[in-house]
Every structure is written in C-alpha cells, then in structure tokens.
Chain A
Amino acid sequence: MSSHRLAANGVEVAVRDGWEVEFSELRANPGADPRSLVHLANFALPAERGDYGSGAVESMDSGGILIVLMEFDPPSAGGAMFSGDAVPHGLVAADFSPAALQRRLPGQAGSQRFFRVGERAFGLYVVLGAHRQAALLAREVNLTLAGITID
C-alpha cells in the first residue's frame, strides 16, 4: 500500500500507488452542511467531471477503474436502501453489470451499493473499463476499498 493517506470530512483514503484521488464537497444549498464526494481512479482523472464520473469514464481503457463515494443527506441513513453498515468489500465479478452504469459505454460494467456509517449515508459506485475482466478488476477494487475508512 502507498504511504499517501488523504482525508476530508471524516473520510480517509489510503491511496495506492498508481491511483489518483480527489475529495470534494456537495451542498444542497449554500447554507447546508457539506456532503463528501470522493473520486478514486487508476487512470488520469480529468479536472472536470460529473459527480458520477461522466467526463472520466470516457477516457478509461480496459484496465480502468473508477470508484465514486458519494454521501447522501443524513436523514437518508434511516432508509431501507442504506442497508449496509460499513464500506462494501468483497465485490466479485457477478456484482458488475452494464445495466448498473450511470452512463452506458461499450464494454464497461458498473456496480452500485448503498450503506451507512453511524448517522451518515453513502453510495458506492464503481465502473470497470472492461466487463470481461471483471474478476481481475474486482480484486483491485477490493484492495482500494480496504483503504477507505469513515468516521
């Protein structure tokens, strides 16, 4: 694992060699509490991206991985959708499907999970550059997810 550990708003990421990360904040309105948005990728993240990685997924090659960690409003944490109680891990090839993509591009596959940590609600969205390599890339995803901690 890399020695680079970056953190913001109670989310900490141990960034692996060859991976990029950017933390930003989402606000429903100017006075609202900030919500975390973290983009992780094993390729060059463009400076301009959509929350779910539009603008980045177009530049992924077959070995590319994009991980989006998005925080939702705290009241969402009580909803049934946020059933997990920790950062997801142990993803396998069967967890990925082109149907899960926010923006469908040929060959790519995605996976989406919702979970909560304490009173905080999060969505995890992962895009793989090649569905046919899902088994291999899922292992890389799990190694990176293992480096994410949330207070």
Chain B
Amino acid sequence: MIVLVVVQTIAIAILTVIVFGLLRTHADILRALDRAGVPLDDSAPASPIGPVPVAAPTTRSEAIDIVGTVPGGGPVKVAIAGPHHTLLAFLSSGCRTCQAFWSEFASPTVDLPGDETRLVIVAQDPAHDSESRLAELAPTGVRTVCSSDAWNAYGVPGSPYFALVDGRTGRVVGSGTATGWEQVHGLLSQALGDEALGGTVDEALAASGIGPGHPSLYPEPLGTDEGDR
C-alpha cells in the first residue's frame, strides 16, 4: 500500500512538472506570435499589422527624437534635426519579415533614399523584445535603439515599419511598410519625389487660399437647379 502511494505521488509530481513545462512553452509561443504581429483572436477584426503601403502623409506629422537604450548598452538619445534625412526602421527580433531587413541593413553598401540619409533601427524596449537577440542582430555601424516610446509616438502598427524624416523640417516625409527592401526603397523615393514637387495636399490647397471651411470644398449637390427637375 505504501509503495503504491509513493509511486502515485511520484507520478503526480512528474505530471505536474510536465504540465507546467507545457504551459510555459505555450506562453513562449504566444509571446513570439505577439511579437511577430500574428493575431490570436479569430473573432477580432483584421489586424492592422502587416504590410502598409508607404505613402506621404496627407498632413505633415512632426518627428520626434529617439530616446531609449542601446541593446546591451546604456541610455541614448538620437536627434532627428540636421541637414540630412533619417530613416527610422522599426524592427523586431522575432518577426519573420524583419529578418530580410536585418540582413539588408548589415550590408555596408545599402542604398538609402534621401540626402545623406542616416539609418536608425528602432526596436521595442527590452521588456517587449529580446535584448540579447537584438544585440546580436544590430548591424555593425548602424545606430540601433530600443524605444517603445518611439513606436507609440510614430504610431507604429507593427513590424517592420519605416518612417523617413527630413531633418531640416523635422517632419515625416513618408511612412509605411512592405515585405522587401526594394519595395520600401522605391516607395520612399516616390514620397521624396512628391515632397520635392509640392509638399502635401494640405499645403498645396493652403497656397491657393483654400483652407478648412472654404466654400469650394462644399459644392452644391448636383440636381438642385430648376432646369434639372
């Protein structure tokens, strides 16, 4: 009888360890899926995370400096202002699409759109990403910063995501994402071209004296004339 109780106790202990192990593995998988931007709730609306076309903003958005920590290092602040563009690449260590960008940015000859463009990779804080993995992935010579505040400030919907900032105006020229660097580069170049041609739609309208509330923005509906009846 005593032998049976002992065997049963040992069996329960082993099963308990196995169950806790499975729960932990499950939690790790959920965290990894969350980092990768994979929605877990089937009833939830489609996640905004995923490729978003790069485009010039319809209204110019202010850029802010990046304040955070270097992966495996100390506090850091990266200033956006200056006679150059800054390409902010919001990447994660665990997202599959990001792997191509980590590899691309490791190349010393990577071609960046804009004037003397500086590449800054922005990851989430160590509480939301693997700091040791980020330290491994950070390309030599490329400024890499952990800053969840920057993700919030730039409205990053998920990784990868890019924002091209003009340091002379302190504003975002274009932002969005795609699955490959060639595509991102092309679309950001288009945003730069649009910027050079005439700025934003709001600015073009303002230059013509058309602002919020202008009558020309609210034309009379068709079919109200007597002749149309």
B173 to chain A, nearest CB (A): 17
Residues A18 and B79 in contact, CB atoms below 8 Å apart: yes
B67 to chain A, nearest CB (A): 6
CA distance A43 to B77 in the complex (A): 12
Residues A47 and B67 in contact, CB atoms below 8 Å apart: no
Residues in A whose Cβ lies below 8 Å from that of B23: none
Question: Is B213 an interface position by the 8 A CB rule?
Answer: no
Residues B141 and A22 in contact, CB atoms below 8 Å apart: no
The segment out of A1-9, A122-130, A136-144 that lies at the interface is: A1-9
Residues A8 and B74 in contact, CB atoms below 8 Å apart: yes
B179 to chain A, nearest CB (A): 26
Residues B75 and A6 in contact, CB atoms below 8 Å apart: yes
Known: A6-B77, A17-B79, A22-B70. 15 other contacts (CB 8 A): A6-B76, A8-B74, A18-B81, A19-B77, A20-B77, A20-B79, A21-B76, A22-B74, A22-B75, A23-B74, A25-B73, A44-B79, A44-B82, A44-B118, A48-B140
Q: Which residues of A contact B (CB under 8 A)?
A: 4, 6-8, 15, 17-25, 43-48
Residues in B whose Cβ lies below 8 Å from that of A22: 70, 73-77
Identify 14 residue pairs between A and B in the complex whose beta-carbon atoms are under 8 Å apart, listed by A's number. Answer: A4-B65, A7-B75, A8-B74, A8-B75, A18-B82, A19-B77, A20-B79, A22-B74, A22-B77, A23-B75, A45-B143, A46-B143, A47-B141, A47-B143
CA distance A132 to B144 in the complex (A): 35
CA distance A46 to B76 in the complex (A): 12
CA distance A48 to B118 in the complex (A): 14
Q: Which of B128-171 contact A (CB under 8 A)?
A: 140-144
Nearest chain-B residue to A39 (Cβ)? Answer: B76
Residues in A whose Cβ lies below 8 Å from that of B75: 6-8, 21-23
CA distance A50 to B67 in the complex (A): 22
Residues in A whose Cβ lies below 8 Å from that of B78: 20, 44-45
Residues in B whose Cβ lies below 8 Å from that of A4: 65, 67, 77
Residues in A whose Cβ lies below 8 Å from that of B144: 47
CA distance A4 to B75 in the complex (A): 11
Question: Is B84 an interface position by the 8 A CB rule?
Answer: yes
Residues in A whose Cβ lies below 8 Å from that of B76: 6, 20-23
Nearest chain-A residue to B79 (Cβ)? Answer: A20
Residues A17 and B81 in contact, CB atoms below 8 Å apart: yes
CA distance A48 to B70 in the complex (A): 12
Residues B74 and A25 in contact, CB atoms below 8 Å apart: yes
CA distance A25 to B73 in the complex (A): 8
Q: Which of B43-97 contact A (CB under 8 A)?
A: 65, 67, 70, 73-79, 81-82, 84
CA distance A144 to B12 in the complex (A): 64
CA distance A15 to B76 in the complex (A): 10
Residues in B whose Cβ lies below 8 Å from that of A44: 78-79, 82, 84, 118
Do A6 and B84 form a contact, CB below 8 Å, given A21-B77, A44-B118? no
B171 to chain A, nearest CB (A): 16
Do A15 and B77 form a contact, CB below 8 Å, given A4-B65, A47-B141? yes
Residues B142 and A47 in contact, CB atoms below 8 Å apart: yes
Residues in A whose Cβ lies below 8 Å from that of B65: 4
CA distance A21 to B141 in the complex (A): 16
CA distance A43 to B86 in the complex (A): 13
Nearest chain-A residue to B86 (Cβ)? Answer: A44
CA distance A22 to B78 in the complex (A): 9
Residues in A whose Cβ lies below 8 Å from that of B142: 47
